[in-house]
Amino acid sequence: MRILIASDLHGNLEAVRALPAQYDELWVLGDLVNYGPNPAEVIEFVREHASLVVRGNHDDAIGYDRDPECSLPYRKLAEETGRFTMSVVSNEQREFLRRLPLTAERRVGDFRFFACHAAPADPLHEYRPANSELWTQDAARGFCDVLLAGHTHVAFCRAVDGRLVANPGSAGQSKQAGGRAYYAIWEDGRLRLESVEYEVEITAAKVRKMPVSPEVRDRLETVLRTGALPDRV
């Protein structure tokens, strides 16, 4: 069984199309929308190809028209691109986002998987870095063998008390490197973190045409190209 695990697609169609096409199943850990120029198209890609999808904070925000509760540097970006996303996705696509579960569980062979967007205790909003001791507490509860989460846009994989905790990173808006889509592959009982280049300049050109303020356009392009925001907030 070869499973492609991706998270935080954020309306970036070029990044999504660059992901590997050879897999038995695609699992998506939320945040299909916002920030990027193609939220509707990304939703349709996920609907067509994914067998497991959980709801992220941005999916929740668009589905229910509420605050995604982003960190301060990303708040203005989320507000303006959220309005754009609401204008281009259909009511039926918003209903799809609303119906997404907060968590999902699967068994693959001898392994029990638990998937969420942020963290088991707060599937939508908790920002939990790789070195948090809270992962150890989750592992000690023994409810799964492999715990999968996204949200931070930074990939990691660590063994905790004989169990695995992993974040595939962000496919659409990485905080690790510009112009690369991050993802994970589960195969033969092992998980690998990988990334692939995508046509970032095509995405950036689309961002420049989005109906958002010049400041937000500049900041979105900076994240895409560098993996980091400018110093100004």
pLDDT, tens only, 39-56: 999 999 999 999 999 999
pLDDT reported for residue 134 = 96
How many residues appear in the chain? 233
Beta carbons of 127 and 151 less than 8 angstroms apart: yes
Q: How many CA atoms lie within 13 A of 84 on its CB side?
A: 25
pLDDT band at 229 (very low <50, low <70, confident <90, very high): confident
Stated pTM of the model: 0.96
pLDDT band at 232 (very low <50, low <70, confident <90, very high): very low
Q: Please, what's the largest Cα pairwise distance for the chain?
A: 51
List C-alpha distances in Å: 51 to 2, 3, 23, 131, 190: 13, 10, 11, 30, 20
pLDDT reported for residue 231 = 60
CB-based burial, 156-185: b 16+ in 10 Å, e otherwise: bbeeeeebbbbbbbbbbbbbeebbbbbbbb
The identity of residue 129, as a single letter, is P
Tens of pLDDT, residue by residue over 97-108, are: 999 999 999 999
Which class does domain 2-102+166-226 fall in?
A: alpha beta
Q: Taking the domains of the chain in order of start, what are their residue ranges?
A: 2-102+166-226
- Sign for the CA dihedral angle at 196, 202, 204, 207 comes to negative
